[in-house]
Structure 1
Amino acid sequence: MFQCLGDQVKRHKMNLFTQQTVMLWLCVARTLTTAELVKLSTVDSVIVWCHQSVRLQCNISTSQEGLLIKHLAWVRQDGKHLCDVNGTEVTGTHPGSTTSAMECSYTPQTQLSLTLLQVRPLDQGKYLCKLRSSHGVKEATTMVKLQESYKEAQPSISDEGPTCTFTGVYPDGEVHWFQGPNNVTGDSTINTKQVEDGASLTITSSLKRKTVSGEEAYNCSLWIPSTGSYLTSSLVVPEHDKARVAQPNASGSGSIGPLWKPFLVLLSTLFLV
């Protein structure tokens, strides 16, 4: 009798184990199947010039019809929701509403785009596209990185000497001065840095040198220590009492004309010797 009872208990435990195993496999299979029903795709990372715009696209694809999107959003790494889709309604941040303006656009069931306008250093980081739908929950990530850049170069001259101001500088930089082949950075007596809204910098440097009409022009070059290169250069010409920028492009992204690149390499070599 006791043996029969023991066998019944064993069979009962075995049945419970079998039922639990089957239920576990069903849950796993359902999860895997649901995960394959819908996919999100974004680019892994983008590199953008400071003060320019970038568009982040989150693409939705599904292997079955009947996808019901319950919630779709672009979310910054600090948890702030930038674009939200609830049903067919799209809400987001629009130009002028914050310092870092952005726009949202939505193609139903297909794509949610986030455009960052006038990207600043504070806008760098991770952006997540999050989806909650009838076919499962998915997430994709894009990293936004900034290229070294500046917004504007403002050279000027007075009887006291030349001055150069570079605005919107990213990352941190220094102003190096040259007169012909001579490095005269040591003569700069006024050097200031101010943090702008968005964490870029305004860098100003002056030479305390009496300017004489007809003397050789001064050159102020923006040096970026983190990259070990010059970003742009400006000429200050005493005989005309004015200054001119050495061929930056119209966007202010800091590219230098081909004629100036060998010159700046020479300046860099002279400075580092």
Structure 2
Amino acid sequence: MESFLWTGLLLLIVHAAPTEEGLSISPSFTAQCGQNLSLFCNNTHPPLLGSHVTMNWAHSDSNRVICEVNTSHPTKETDDYICTMTEGVHLELTLLGMKPDNRGEYVCKLSSAEGTAFAITNATLDECYTGQYVTTTAEAYSCTFTGVFPEGEVHWFQGSERLTGSTTCTTTVRLEPRGGLTICSTLKRNSTSGQLPYNCSLWNPRARHYLTSQLVTGPSKVTGSSNGKEAHRAFWELWAILLASHFLMKLWA
């Protein structure tokens, strides 16, 4: 019942009263993917000495209270955030590793014997990706980009020439639990020719520029095969034997 009342009140203040006198809050901001970000909320009218104060942060886009602390229990910490209240006056929320689902409106709420106050700020997220890797097989090259936001396309190049056509490459897009995208594009080897190097580039269609590019290894290098590793190890074993023999021969001489 309490959660239902809070949700209704939250919706009311988002649409009716963006701020209330008595609280100051961090201004709206644009964050980078993966960075830790701190939000501040300050009570401009310090409470009476010994009075009980409760403060919380809520994410209005998902209608959920992120953290709630009070003068008896001023700190709460999880894998996603650290929430700390100081002397019933200062409330800080540190979001650990900003992700796409962290964007949106944040509401700070204060409750004490003197009354209740609210304040709102907004978080947007810059374009980003969190990882990239290449895999190769005898049949194809694959480029994967993870944590892509807000959207992206994979473009393949051989040298300076862009490779196009549905028969050349295929792309799959998967929504991640925290709102980013995993984009995997596969280039068929039988659709390529020549010796120029290949690369796959992540294109942002909204901003109309490339976020990153990844060089793809040549056709003779196949990821996942144990033959290359075995040959590499045999080479160094042979080198070690020859080197040891050389020193023994000098010692005996």
Look up the match of 1:133: 112
1:102 to 47, 56, 81: 81
- CA shift for structure 1 position 152: 0.8
Q: Report the 3-state secondary structure (helix = DSSP H, G, I; strand = E; otherwise coil) of the residue aligned with 1:62.
A: coil
Match of 2:67 among 83, 86, 93: 83
Task: Give 1:60's match in structure 2, choosing from 43, 50, 71.
Answer: 43
- Number of residue-to-residue matches in the alignment: 202
**Cα distance between partner residues in 2 of 1:85 and 1:63:** 16
The residue that corresponds to 1:163 in the other structure is 142
Aligned AA (2:204): I
Match of 2:130 in 1: 151
Question: 2:186 and 2:152 mapped to 1: Cα distance?
Answer: 15
Unaligned residue ranges in structure 2 (runs of 5+):
1-19, 224-253
**Is the 8 Å Cα contact of residues 219 and 234 (structure 1) preserved in structure 2?**
yes
Task: Give matches, 1:160-239, under 5 Å.
Answer: 160-186=139-165, 188-210=168-190, 215-238=195-218
Cα pair 1:73 1:83 within 8 Å, conserved: yes
Distance 1:89 1:228 in 2: 48
Q: Aligned-pair distance for 1:49?
A: 2.1
For 1:66 and 1:134, the matched residues in 2 are separated by 11
Q: CA deviation at 1:162?
A: 2.2
Provide the identity percentage: 38
The match for 1:8 is none
What does 1:38-77 align with in structure 2 at a 5 Å threshold? 39-62=22-45, 66=49, 68-77=51-60
Matched to 2:74, the amino acid is V
**RMSD across aligned positions (CA):** 2.8
Deviation by residue 1:210-253 (Cα, 9 ceiling, x = unmatched):
4999811111110111221111111113177379xxxxxxxxxx
2:85 is the alignment partner of 1:114: no
Letter matched to residue 48 of structure 1: A
Cα distance in 2 for partners of 1:239, 1:204 equals 19
Determine the structure 1 residue equivalent to 2:8.
none
TM-superposed CA distance for 1:64, in Å, is 8.3
| SS, match of residue 189 in structure 2 | coil
- Residue 184 of structure 1 deviates from its aligned partner by 0.4
1:261 matched to which residue of 2?
none
- Contact preservation (8 Å) 1:236, 1:242: no
1:211–1:185 Cα change, 3 Å: closer
State the alpha-carbon separation in 1 of the partners of residues 146 and 221 from structure 2: 22
242 and 217 in structure 1: CA distance in 2 versus 1, 3 angstrom threshold: farther
The answer as to whether partners of 1:106 and 1:112 remain within 8 angstroms in 2 is yes
Secondary structure of the residue aligned to 1:89 is: coil
Gaps of 5+ in 1: 1-34, 96-100, 244-273
Check the 8 A contact 1:189/1:206 in 2, yes or no: yes
Q: Alignment partner of 1:122: what SS?
A: helix
Distance 1:127 1:94 in 2: 18
2:232 maps to: none
Structure 1 window deviating more from structure 2 (224-233 vs 101-110): it is 101-110
TM-score when scaled to structure 1? 0.65
Higher radius of gyration, 1 or 2: 1
Change (3 A) 1:219 1:197: same
Deviation sequence 1:94-123 (CA, Å, 0-9, x none): 12xxxxx22211211331111222322222
> Within the alignment, does 1:241 sit opposite 2:221 as a pair?
yes
Q: CA deviation at 1:42?
A: 1.4
Determine if contact 1:162/1:218 at 8 Å carries over to the other structure.
no
In structure 2, what is the equivalent of residue 32 of structure 1? none
Q: What displacement does 1:80 show?
A: 2.0
In 1, the alpha carbon distance for the partners of 2:122 and 2:55 equals: 19
